[in-house]
Chains A and B, each alone.
Chain A
Amino acid sequence: MIPVFRLAAKSLASRRVTVLLTVFAISVSVSLLLGVERLRTEARASFSNTVSGTDLIVGARSGSVPLLLYSVFRIGNATNNISWRSYQDIAANPDVAWTIPVSLGDSHRGFRVLGTNTDYFRHFRYARTRTLEFAAGKPFDDVFDAVLGAQVASALGYNVGHSIVIDHGVGSVGFASHKDKPFRVSGILKRTGTPVDQTVHVSLAGIEAIHIDWRSGRPIPGLSIDAERVRRMNLQPEAITAFFVGLKSRFDTFEMQRRVNTYADEPMLAILPGVALHELWSLMGTAESALSIITIFIVMAGLIGMVTMLMSSLNERRREMAILRSVGARPHHVFSLFVLEAAFVSVLGAVLGVILLYAGMITVLPVIESRYGLFIPINPLSINEWMYLGAVVAAGILAGIAPAIAAVRMSLADGMVVRS
């Protein structure tokens, strides 16, 4: 085995260019395989970390996935609002420990604006138990105060004290804006790795104030109320988009859910965030496993490239085999020479693949984070990933058996009659 080990290494070294290309093909496929796996697990983790500690989310009656999407992920829009009165009624229930009302529908330069109250900063939880913390400033106090998610602040370069204008609706920028009532940044939250980072938070009164002289999506002609006068008006909202509910006892969850869903005065829907997250994730499951299967095929293509390289070298190596046989190499030496070459190439491919993976993460992850707010830490290889690498090397060695058998057969048929 030891003489063959040296032979395999030197033989590969002598064919550097083709070998390196093959190694590179395998390493690209390995880094893709690991990268997709990593993205999958990290996405799943950060996904389920988006909201914690909330027992129910209540909104107008629609589907549980749309409700989750707009209330937690700020994706899509609510088809209907729920009335302030119904919200007050449920919030007053003795089983309810806290509620967070949310009002959506406006945006600031592509980031969603969320109207809420200061309970949001007190009760909202993510990543199991973590609470929102301020990197700078404090919660909104005035009607025209705004609290920015970390990503909003860093992407737009805002600091506490900055003045911002809220756009009406969530369409493209500059469609229509509430220019007459600018907001002042009162605080900036620390990074959470959740959609909170991409949200501009204002008070419910603030939302009410900018719409007070608007009807059905446009300013009422002839009616313009300036900011100072608005402050003195009654800014109690009539409707909100949804609200989060924390119960005193978890055991009341289903009872409370039933009560909301059968609420007589208004059709409403209460969902359990964990269940809805699971439902949403399984919607993506098919695409996710399709992606995995594709990466496995790419790895196979890389290994087939290696087998091709070994197979096509067979003919030009006939003489080498005859020489080795003449100096005493047995068929098993010839066999292990080829299998070892396959093993070296696969191991090199796997190692280079890991290097590519980390190089890729270092360059791509900051982009993903700034663009999608998805924070993925650069961790060492997991046991799962080591197993993937082991499987790739094992598959590579197995794939090397075909050319190895071909080489043994060839050398047995040729004997020492070396013909070029």
Chain B
Amino acid sequence: MGLAVELNDIVYRWRRDRPVVLDIPEFSVPVGEKLFIAGPSGSGKTTLLNLLGGVDLPERGEMTILGERLDLLSANRRDKFRADRIGFIFQQFNLVPYLSVVDNVLLPCRFSAPRLARASDAANEARRLLGAMDLPVDDLTRRPVADLSVGQQQRVAAARALIGRPDLIITDEPTSSLDEEARRAFLDLLFAEVQSAGQTLIFVSHDSRLADAFDRTMALADVNRASVLETV
């Protein structure tokens, strides 16, 4: 089985005058794995996801994602790579407030032709995914996203990350604002979809109570030699 993510000798800091946030000698994720990365607040989890998504580049090191050497690509190519092959879910406020639920789910298809093509009938696929996420589709489409509960918003965000079957799903504490029950339900729905599409899932959280449901659990500190843990 190939590797979805492979990092070698990565060093990253936000600005030259800031401390090194990430110093990762080696880190890899096999294709199809569901990986849980734990780490306290400020340890650099979001920063790592920023790199994996090709939003920014490390100042040193090799970074191969889904077979592409991201560190060798131009900013423009990285943007396109992200649009076509990666789905993101953030902690909260995932949705564009002025778009409808369905339009939010369809957003990746508007910026990526391959994802639009893979979704074939995009509007229908959006509805299917919303249904799979256990959302009352017909009831939701016309409502402004602000009317949704936080748990519902996160499930809409999941449908958006999944549409057009990107190879890698990256989630940044998507459940931290949900209660215990909603958290479990969210994970079950997400897993079911990821499993059936054969996608790789990287899930970061500071809350390791969820870890047992994943294929593998890892502490960021285990792979990251830098520790800046700034207390706010």
Contact = CB atoms under 8 A, between A and B. Distances in A.
Given A10-B98, A14-B98, A328 B84 contact: yes
B53 A11 contact: no
Given A327-B88, A328-B112, A333-B111, A11 B46 contact: no
Contact of A416 (B50, B107, B108, B112): B50
A332 to B, nearest CB: 9
Given A326-B88, A416-B49, A417-B47, A319 B108 contact: no
A418 interface: yes
Interface stretch (B89-97, B181-189, B207-215): B89-97
Interface string A190-204: 000000000000000
Given A328-B80, A328-B82, A328-B84, A415 B50 contact: yes
Interface in B44-59: 46-47, 49-50, 53, 55-56
B111 A417 contact: no
Given A416-B50, A416-B88, A417-B46, A327 B94 contact: no
Interface in A308-342: 319-320, 322-331, 333
B110 interface: yes
A327 B79 CA distance: 9
Contacts of A417: 46-47, 50
Given A415-B55, A416-B55, A418-B93, A327 B99 contact: no
B202 interface: no
Contacts of A326: 53, 82, 88, 90
Nearest to A326: B88
A329 B111 contact: yes
Contact of B111 (A328, A415, A418): A328
A206 to B, nearest CB: 76
B83 interface: yes
Contacts of A7: 96, 99
A327 B97 contact: no
B55 A14 contact: no
Nearest to A12: B98
B79 A330 contact: yes
Contacts of A15: 98
A320 B84 contact: no
B92 to A, nearest CB: 8
B76 interface: yes
Nearest to B56: A415
A40 to B, nearest CB: 42
Contacts of A416: 46, 49-50, 53, 55, 88, 90, 172
Nearest to A329: B111
A13 interface: yes
B46 to A, nearest CB: 5
A330 B93 CA distance: 20
A324 to B, nearest CB: 7
Contact of A3 (B49, B56, B84, B110): B110
Contact of B83 (A11, A328, A331, A420): A328
Contacts of B56: 415
Interface string B95-119: 1111100010001101110000000
A276 to B, nearest CB: 62
Contacts of B95: 323
Interface string A9-33: 0110111000000000000000000
Contacts of B46: 416-417
A1 B128 CA distance: 27
B111 to A, nearest CB: 4
B97 A14 contact: yes
Nearest to B112: A328
A333 to B, nearest CB: 7
A419 B219 CA distance: 23
Interface of B: 46-47, 49-50, 53, 55-56, 75-76, 79-80, 82-84, 88, 90-91, 93-99, 103, 107-108, 110-112, 160, 172
Which 8 pairs across A and B sit closest by C-beta, in order of nearness? Answer: A328-B83, A14-B98, A328-B111, A3-B110, A326-B88, A415-B55, A330-B79, A327-B107
Interface of A: 2-3, 6-7, 10-11, 13-15, 319-320, 322-331, 333, 415-418, 420
Given A415-B56, A417-B50, 6 more contacts: A3-B111, A10-B99, A14-B98, A326-B88, A328-B112, A420-B93
11 contacts: A6-B110, A7-B99, A13-B98, A15-B98, A327-B83, A327-B107, A328-B84, A328-B112, A416-B55, A416-B88, A417-B47
